[in-house]
Amino acid sequence: MKRASRLRELLEYIGKHAQDFPSHTIREQMIGAAVFGRPEDYDTGLDNIVRVNVSELRKRLIHYFSEEGSHETIAIEIPRGGYLPIFFLRSTATAKTLETPALLPPATEASPATPPSALDLPEATPVAALPVARKHLTPVLIALSIAVFVCGLLLWQNHRLAVQLQPWKTDALKDSLWADFFSSGDRIDIVTADTSFALAEDILGQTISLDDYLDYKYMNLADQPGLPPGTKSALKHILERNNGSIGDFQAAKRFMDLDGYSSALKLASARSYTAESIKADNVILIGGRESNPWVDLYRDRMNFFLDYDPSIQRSFIVNRKPQPGEEAVYETGRDPNRSYSVVSFLPNLTDQRYVLIISGVDSQATRAAGDFITSPEGLAQIRQRMPTGHFPYFELVLASSRLVGTTLHTEIVASRVHQR
């Protein structure tokens, strides 16, 4: 059996069918399609692959339980004329001397011509020689053995399915944070940044308000007087496109992977998002105010926030009320291999849902923040600064070291905790 992988697959398939549907027969075509890759309606009269392999499997089972498996107390037999195996408990004497299982009728003097079983084993031990209680317990033990096996299989399958469908449930720290978003079944909007908006601000050298963004007034900025023709043309082309950054989409994928099969998860661009949704749904906002204006709605609630100066085209993190050991401003500065990002977990505008905001001084820093908040290692760092149980509302400033575009390490350099 070790070298016949196809026979193992055959035994697993018919064995599982016998356990799941003990009162049902199984058609030859079903086995051919499931195990041997045949079409579901193939002609079994022309293709006998199932009959040949079942016959070979039957012989190998007989040989195994007569030789290597002679000590086994539970045996498997495939009766002739069928495809479903039967499982039976052999007595200790039967297992040692290869006698017929105690479940078979005893041979008597009045029935010398009784045909042998499909296993073609020696004469059976008389049932009368076995304790009466054992005769009654044997079917119960078989049923219990099968039930335990099936329950264990189902538990294992359920665990594998949970890991695949809802990874946030497989880690205690992930569950402590992400249960707030996923367990209720409420809609979760992942809103990526609109980098076309940020490019327009760079070209104009000015900040565009959230009101102008919501009313699409910024689409007319290319028509304002005083702009050179080349600038007008470039601005129109930029504003007609809804662009995003690679780092934002990589961060969004990390959030999607937490519960990727959930119908409650929705991915949206800042440009297509609506005020109704940000009030009614749980929200994950990716990007700073210069590329995702929706973040501006929460700016007054945040001690740490990403700011942007379009005149010098630089992003930096502001700390409204620095505590001892903290900086008032965090920016990349002279060290290009160190970047900063902000993670804020807050109540939404109605205080009935949740919002998570991640934004970095550049695309790679934003991605690092997404990796941090979805990883067990990052959550372990956060837990060290928080009380036990479900996470309170919090704000973090993260510093990431990187080399040649690859983030090496991310750590918390400042934090705030807010009571729920």
Q: What's the pLDDT tens digit per position in 9-24? A: 888 888 888 777 776 7
Burial class (CB in 10 A: 0-12, 13-18, 19+), 280: middle
Predicted local distance difference test score (pLDDT) of residue 149: 66
Nearest-angstrom CA–CA distance, 414 and 157: 42
Average pLDDT of span 32-59: 88
Backbone angle region of 188, left / alpha / beta, with phi > 0 → left and psi within -120 to 50 → alpha: beta
- Report the percentage of the chain scoring pLDDT > 70: 80
With beta carbons less than 8 A apart as the criterion, state whether 142 and 88 touch. Answer: yes
Nearest-angstrom CA–CA distance, 259 and 157: 18
With beta carbons less than 8 A apart as the criterion, state whether 2 and 20 touch. Answer: no
Q: What's the pLDDT tens digit per position in 306-329? A: 998 877 778 899 999 999 999 999
Mean pLDDT lowest among 16-20, 81-85, 131-135, 280-284:
131-135
Q: What is the mean pLDDT of the chain?
A: 80
With beta carbons less than 8 A apart as the criterion, state whether 100 and 121 touch. Answer: yes
Predicted local distance difference test score (pLDDT) of residue 36: 86
Predicted local distance difference test score (pLDDT) of residue 95: 47
Residue 19: CA count within 13 A, CB half-sphere: 20
* Contacts of residue 28, Cβ cutoff 8 Å, sequence gap at least 6: 44, 50, 51, 83
Is 173's pLDDT higher than 60? Answer: yes
With beta carbons less than 8 A apart as the criterion, state whether 288 and 308 touch. Answer: yes
Classify residue 121 by its DSSP letter: -
Alpha-helical (H) ranges within 166-205 are: 172-182, 195-204
With beta carbons less than 8 A apart as the criterion, state whether 61 and 69 touch. Answer: no
Strand, coil or helix: what is 102? coil
Nearest-angstrom CA–CA distance, 332 and 191: 25
* pLDDT-derived band at 390, boundaries 50, 70, 90: confident
Is 118's pLDDT higher than 60? Answer: no
The position carrying tokens 């030859």 is 28
Average pLDDT of span 27-35: 88
The neighbour count for residue 42, using CB atoms within 10 Å, is: 17
Instruction: Give the chain's largest Cα–Cα span.
Output: 116
* Contacts of residue 70, Cβ cutoff 8 Å, sequence gap at least 6: 95, 96, 98
The torsion angles phi and psi of 400, rounded to 5 degrees, stand at -120, 130
Q: What's the pLDDT tens digit per position in 101-116? A: 444 444 444 444 444 4
Burial call 5-35: b when 16+ CB within 10 Å, e when fewer: eebeebbebbbebbeeeeeeebebbbbbbbb
Predicted local distance difference test score (pLDDT) of residue 302: 96
Burial class (CB in 10 A: 0-12, 13-18, 19+), 161: exposed
Residue 162: CA count within 13 A, CB half-sphere: 11
Q: Which two tokens stand for residue 233?
A: 């043309």
Dihedral of CA 138/144/146/148: which sign? negative
Mean pLDDT lowest among 9-23, 81-95, 265-279, 329-343:
81-95
Is 417's pLDDT higher than 80? Answer: yes
Average pLDDT of span 68-76: 81
Is 187's pLDDT higher than 50? Answer: yes
Nearest-angstrom CA–CA distance, 195 and 337: 23
Dihedral of CA 18/21/24/29: which sign? negative
Q: What's the pLDDT tens digit per position in 133-171? A: 444 556 656 666 666 666 666 665 555 555 556 677 777
Is 344's pLDDT higher than 90? Answer: yes
Is 3's pLDDT higher than 50? Answer: no
Strand, coil or helix: what is 50? helix
Nearest-angstrom CA–CA distance, 256 and 264: 11
Burial class (CB in 10 A: 0-12, 13-18, 19+), 285: buried
- Pick from 297, 345, 340: which is nearest to 315 by CA? 340
Is 98's pLDDT higher than 60? Answer: no
Residue 65 CA, distance from chain mean position: 42
- Pick from 405, 341, 337, 335: which is nearest to 368 by CA? 341
Is 121's pLDDT higher than 80? Answer: no
- Pick from 170, 175, 230, 231: which is nearest to 199 by CA? 231
Predicted local distance difference test score (pLDDT) of residue 113: 42
